[in-house]
Amino acid sequence: MPTQETHLATGYFDAVAQADLVHSGELRPVDLVLDAITRIERLDPLLHAVVATDFDRAVDGARRLDPDLPFAGVPILVKDLCAEVEGLPMREGSGFLRHVVSGHDQEYVARLRRAGFVVLGKTSTPEFGMSPTVEPVDGPPTVNPWDTTCTTGGSSGGSAAAVASGMVPVAHGNDAGGSIRIPASCCGLFGLKPTRGRNPLGPRYGDVFGGMVSEHVLTRSVRDSVALLDVTAGPAPGDPYFAPPHEGSWTAEAFWPPGHLRIAVSRQASDGRPVHRDCLAVLDETVDLLRSLGHTVVERELTELTPEVGSAIGRMYGAFVDWAVRYWVRETGRFPEQRELEPLTRLYWARGRDVRGGELMMAVTTVQAFAREVAAAYDGPGGFDVWLSPTLAEPPPRLGELVATEEDPSVAEERAAAFVAFPLIAANLTGRPAMSVPLGWSSDDLPVGMNFMGRFGDEGTLFRLATQLESARPWAEVWPPVSARCLDHQHPMTDPADW
């Protein structure tokens, strides 16, 4: 049985380092699992990031696990949205699904298990992932480990809080418009949205949201994100989308020099919305850093998200919520009562029910045309390897600011648009990989991330650039006040001001 000192110490390690402890014989797989359970039990009552646990099965499975597996015993949590974990609830943040229990593992989860990861439970998400904060009507909000009065961002907010606090080294997330990158920025993590089709969604789903959803993880280190993609990537039989095949290992190439990159930088938010001075300051610091590393950085706005494209996105979002409700009506055999859906969901559902099939197909046609415009502007001669902007237009807002009310649910929608004012969704519309990198701090010592979007199918360039940035400005040893490190009084938190 691990000692208290052991569980505190292993909380400092990323997934690769935890696996190395097992491969070296220093720890058993079950030691890592027991350590993580202790951290979850001590930290989650403060953060409210975990909505379902599977501790007994996790410990039993870890005792029988092959220690030679790549990630033998490394604990992981799975976001409670789209991803199925056999035997665990599948609520997707909704009271409507409170009695649903998964009867199988999603293929993505099965691949994690085959690599040796041990699933400890599921993390919180807003209802159907439709809000950039995790503040459910029927439960406590998930809070930011850096400041418990602030949001974690969403929709992978529970996973972000769990990783930032050190409960687990990595946690699953998914991204349909920034849902990995937004909480990564809010919680000081690295968050990559892979290329469309890089990771599978089946067997329950072939497509979610017109190809806009990507599965991956939130991590403290770049190498964890790289290594996870190596063990999960690849199509499953029948998948509707295929990312370009990747030869070899991302892990092997992530530490190669990225070379001389042409990087477009944008400081203009959508619709001319204001951008917080702290986010612009970190952007300026990032541009200086990139130039010092030998890259060419050019001021260039992204291909415009015109009102026509914005309207198409709105129709697709509404249709997605209508699809989600219809899907679960079919699966559960009943319609939701009004109290079982939150105000913002009901607003989107009402809009979605009015979208006709032809209108939805026209919306898809519009966003696909946008993707071709981006490709023409960025991928041709004189184009760019990467597009850079702040991930968000402001540091993490206070809890309550992004919550819809019964009286006017659209208030939260408008407030969220000001918060997520940079077009993170461009990566989802075009299928391109994108990442949020924790490269700075607000004046209130809250994390500020920078968003980098790459070429279609080219996670490798993003990984190599991220590794270079991580080496130049390391962030993984900076810990929030509510974390595994704060449990160990011998190792006080690193002060962001010391950076």
- Could you state, in order of their start, the residue ranges of all structural domains in the chain? 4-498
Q: Return the DSSP state at 81.
A: S
Closest alpha carbon to 67 in 33, 29, 30, 17 = 29
Helices (H), 293-424: 307-332, 343-353, 357-378, 410-419
| pLDDT of amino acid 9 | 73
Judge whether 71 and 100 are in contact, CB under 8 Å.
no
pTM for the model stands at 0.96
| pLDDT of amino acid 491 | 44
Spot the catalytic one: 79, 122, 193, 225. Answer: 79
Residue 489 to residue 133: CA distance in whole angstroms: 31
Structure token pair of residue 74: 């490394």
Count Cβ neighbours within 10 Å for each residue of 138-175 and write b for 16 or more, e otherwise.
eeebbbbbbbbebbbbbbbbbbbbbbbbbbbbbbbbbb
Phi then psi dihedrals of residue 219, to 5 deg? -140, 165
Structure token pair of residue 24: 């070296």
Helices (H), 115-221: 157-164, 181-187
Active site residue 79: yes
Spot the catalytic one: 102, 155, 270, 436. Answer: 155
| pLDDT of amino acid 499 | 31
Quick one: average pLDDT of 20-24?
97
Spot the catalytic one: 94, 179, 270, 436. Answer: 179
Tens of pLDDT, residue by residue over 68-125, are 999 999 999 999 999 999 999 999 999 999 999 999 999 999 999 999 999 999 999 9
Residue 234 to residue 202: CA distance in whole angstroms: 12
| pLDDT of amino acid 191 | 98
Pairing of β 190-193 and β 434-441: antiparallel
Which range in 301-310, 413-422, 478-487 is most confidently predicted, on average pLDDT? 413-422
Active site residue 179: yes
Pairing of β 190-193 and β 214-219: antiparallel
Which class does domain 4-498 fall in? Answer: alpha beta
Sequence length of the chain is 499
% of the chain residues with pLDDT over 70: 96
Quick one: average pLDDT of 466-491?
87
